[in-house]
Amino acid sequence: MEISTVVGGPGGVNSYIVYDGSSSVIIDPADYNKISNKLKELNLKLLAVLLTHGHFDHVWALKQILQRFDVPFYIHEEDIKIVFDSKFNFAERFGFAEKGRYDFPQPVALHGGDILNFANMTFKVIHTPGHTPGGVCYHINNSLFTGDTLFRGTVGRTDCYFADESALINSLKIFAGFSDDTIVYPGHGRPSTIGFELSYNPFL
Ligand SMILES: [Fe+2]
């Protein structure tokens, strides 16, 4: 399993292309051109789009990706009400409430503990509410994709619609259950490790 990081879209989101052989999934598609170029460059077949949560910057390229590739997209059931709504997904707040951009087809609803298999890749879905009610982390092998729940040295904001600070604090407890060498791939900024975060992140 390999990971290619593509940074782009409003807010500089990390979109992750996770691939094994020629099979790939995208986590949080933000920049359509960069992602489609990277898929072409690596000669990858896209099988699915996984969302860590429903905020507009993490789905900035979702509609274009789904128009170009006939694949399902996955989001926790609690964030479905957020992702389609340009107010709740924070687009209005930042001036990105373009008409039609958030008119997606129906997603596949996720729940905590779900196991997703794509070719030889197996992702475990971990529900980490707080930044949004349906925020999730995806765990595969030694990698943890944390969206806007956990960043290098900090955590996600809790002033968003349906955010819940005490839920976030509770969600952060799960990170102590991973080995120190687990690599953290956040929704924004540089990667980290669980060991680094447990030592230096004041929120953990
Ligand atoms: Fe977010």
Q: Alpha-carbon distance 110 to 134, whole Å?
A: 9
CA 8 to ligand 1 centroid distance, Å: 14
- pTM beyond 0.95, yes or no: yes
CA 34 to ligand 1 centroid distance, Å: 21
Q: What is the CA radius of gyration of the chain?
A: 16
- For residue 117, the enclosing domain spans 2-200
Query: Nearest 10 degrees: CA dihedral of 123, 50, 136, 176?
Result: 40
CA 65 to ligand 1 centroid distance, Å: 20
Give the count of domains, the chain: 1
CA 163 to ligand 1 centroid distance, Å: 10
Tell me the pLDDT tens digit for each residue of 129-154. Answer: 999 999 999 999 999 999 999 999 99
Tell me the pLDDT tens digit for each residue of 37-91. Answer: 999 999 999 999 999 999 999 999 999 999 999 999 999 999 999 999 999 999 9
- What is the number of alpha carbons within 13 Å of residue 74 lying toward its C-beta? 22
CA 189 to ligand 1 centroid distance, Å: 13
Q: Determine the 3-state secondary structure of 10 from DSSP.
A: coil
- The DSSP element (H or E) to which 20 belongs, if any, is strand 13-20
Question: Is the Cα torsion angle 161, 162, 166, 172 positive or negative in sign?
Answer: negative
Residue 181's pLDDT band (boundaries 50, 70, 90)?
very high
pLDDT > 90: percent of the chain: 99
Q: Alpha-carbon distance 186 to 140, whole Å?
A: 14
Residue 124's pLDDT band (boundaries 50, 70, 90)?
very high
CA 21 to ligand 1 centroid distance, Å: 30
Q: Which residue has the tokens 């060498």?
A: 181
CATH of residue 17's domain is: 3.60.15.10
